[in-house]
Structure 1
C-alpha cells in the first residue's frame, strides 16, 4: 500500500513539475518496499521504478531514467501484466513507459521511441488510458522527428481508444496546435480535431 500511495502521489509531482522532489519520494518508497519475490512485491517495486523513470525523464536526468527503466524492465519480465493493488504493471506497461521516457529526454532519444513503435503495439487487454497514452507519446515523438502526418494519425488513434483521456491531455492540445501551425492549409479534419480538444485556445 505504501508503494501504491507513492506511485499515485508521484502523479501530482508530475503535474506540478516538481520532478526532483517526486524522484526523491519515489526512491525513498523503493528503499521501504518489500524485497521478497512474491508477484505483488515485484510489481510494487517495478511500478515505482517505472514511475521514477518517467519523472527522471521529465527532469532530463538521463542516467537516473535509464537506471530506473532497466530495473522496471527486469522486474516486469518476472510478472504477468496485470493489476496489482490498483496499479497496472508488467512487461507491456514497461514498454509503454519506455516511449514516454524517450520522448521526455528528447533529442538523441527519439529514435528509441520510434523504433519501439515499429516493433510493438500495446495489446488490447491493456487499460484504454495506458494504450491511448502510448499513442499520444508516439505522436509527440513523430512530430519532433519531422513526421507531422504520422503524428496526427497517432493522435487520432489515441482519441479512438480513450476519447476523454485524449481530449484532456495537455500534450494533445499542444501538439495539435503545432500541427495546425505547420499545416494551416491541410484537411478540415485537423481543424475539427483541434476544436474537439480545445487546441484553438492555445493558438
Structure 2
C-alpha cells in the first residue's frame, strides 16, 4: 500500500488535471470513471483502486507513479510485455503479411510512442509498443518500393522505443536483440542519419558490458561515416554521437577524449542553435550541459567539484525531455552524496522523481544514493524512509 494519503493522491490528480485544462466532468468522461468518484478522489474522500488510478492516469497522459508513490502496476505491465516483445521480433526478417494499420496510422502511432519514450512513460509504452512494432515489421516487408526507406526508418524508430523499455528494466538480452533489429532496419533505409542514430543507441550494449574502450571506438567509427553537419538534423546527429562518446570515454578513464568530444558536441550545438528533438534524440546546448555533468560523474569521485560546478551555474530547463532532466538530477545526487551534501542529494532525487518517476525508480545510481542516504540518517528519518519505500529498498 502506498504511504501517500488519499488527500495527497487527490491533490496530484487535481494538479495534473488543471495543468491539462480539463474539468472534472471532462476527466470523468475521458477516463470512464464517474464524476462523483472523480470529485471524491480529488478532495481526498476516496482512495482510487489500481484500475481507477490507471484509467485516470491514462486520461491525463501521465504514468500512475506520478499520482501515487510506490505504485507497482507499471513494473507489472512492463514485465508482462517483455515476452510479447520477444515473440514479435523473433522472426523480424521473415515476411508475415500486411500491417493492420495504414501507413499514416502507423506513422502517427510511432510518433506518439517516441513522445512517450522522451517522457519516460514506460508503462504506457509497454502496453502499446508490441502491436506497433509488429505492424512496423510487416510494413517494412510489404511497403511499395517508393515507401521502403520510409518504412525502414519507421521500424528503426519503433525498435528504439521498445528497446527503451527493455533496457531500462534490465532485459539486456532483449535490448540487444532490439538494437540488432534497429541496425537491420537502418541498413535497409540506406539513410546515414538513421545509421548514426542506431550507433548512438547501440552504445547501450557497450555500457552494459562495461566494454567502454570498444564502445568509444565504435562511436568514433560512426562519426567517421556520419553525414557532414550541413543542416540541423545532420549537426544534431553528429552532436549526439559526440555527447555519448564523451560519456563512454569518461567511463574508460580517458579524460582527454572525453573533453575533446564535449568540445565537438558544443560546436554542433551552436550549429543547431536551440534545444530540440532531432530524429528522436534530444540535442542542443542544454543537452550538452547535461552530458558535461554525466562526464564529470562518470570520471569518479575525484571529479566531484567539476560536476557540482556545472550544476551551480546551470539548471536543466523544464522544457528538457523528462528522462534526460531526471538523469541530470540523479547524477547530481551522486556527486552531492560524494561531497557529503546529503540533504542536497535527497532533494535532487526528489526532483528526478518528479520529472520522470519510472526512470528514477529503475536507475541503479538513484537506488544506490537512496540506500546510502538511509545509512547516513536514522532509520526513522521520515523523508529518507519514505523515499526508500518508494524505491522498494526497505
TM > 0.5: yes
Count of residue correspondences:
200
1:48 paired residue among 241, 247, 253: 241
Alignment of 1:38-187 (within 5 A): 38-79=231-272, 80-185=274-379, 187=381
Question: Match of 2:196?
Answer: 3
Report the CA distance shift for 1:199/1:188 in structure 2 as closer, same or farther (over 3 A): same
Task: Flag as ranges the 4+ runs of structure 1 deviating above 6 A.
Answer: none
**46-55 or 107-116: bigger deviation:** 107-116
- Answer whether contact 2:326 2:355 (CA < 8 A) is retained: yes
Match status 1:24 vs 2:24: no
- Answer whether contact 1:4 1:85 (CA < 8 A) is retained: yes
- Report the 3-state secondary structure (helix = DSSP H, G, I; strand = E; otherwise coil) of the residue aligned with 1:76: helix
Distance (whole Å) between structure 2 residues aligned to residue 198 and residue 61 of structure 1: 35
Deviation per CA, 1:62-92, whole angstroms, max 9, x where unpaired?
1111111111111112212111111111100
- TM-score, scaled to structure 1: 0.94
Report the CA distance shift for 1:76/1:186 in structure 2 as closer, same or farther (over 3 A): farther
Instruction: Quote the offset at 1:186 in angstroms.
Output: 5.7
Instruction: Quote the offset at 1:185 in angstroms.
Output: 4.4
Question: Bigger relative contact order, structure 1 or 2, given CA contacts below 8 A and separation 6+?
Answer: 1
Distance (whole Å) between structure 2 residues aligned to residue 91 and residue 15 of structure 1: 27
2:391 paired residue among 186, 191, 197: 197
- TM-score, scaled to structure 2: 0.49
In structure 1, list runs of 5 or more residues that go unmatched.
none
Distance (whole Å) between structure 1 residues aligned to residue 200 and residue 229 of structure 2: 19
Instruction: Quote the offset at 1:199 in angstroms.
Output: 3.0
- Answer whether contact 2:301 2:335 (CA < 8 A) is retained: no
- Answer whether contact 1:173 1:198 (CA < 8 A) is retained: no
Question: Match of 1:35?
Answer: 228
- Answer whether contact 1:76 1:90 (CA < 8 A) is retained: yes
Distance (whole Å) between structure 2 residues aligned to residue 143 and residue 41 of structure 1: 38
Distance (whole Å) between structure 1 residues aligned to residue 390 and residue 210 of structure 2: 26
Distance (whole Å) between structure 2 residues aligned to residue 157 and residue 9 of structure 1: 29
Distance (whole Å) between structure 2 residues aligned to residue 138 and residue 39 of structure 1: 30
What is the alpha-carbon root mean square deviation over aligned residues? 1.3
In structure 2, list runs of 5 or more residues that go unmatched.
1-193
Report the CA distance shift for 1:183/1:38 in structure 2 as closer, same or farther (over 3 A): same
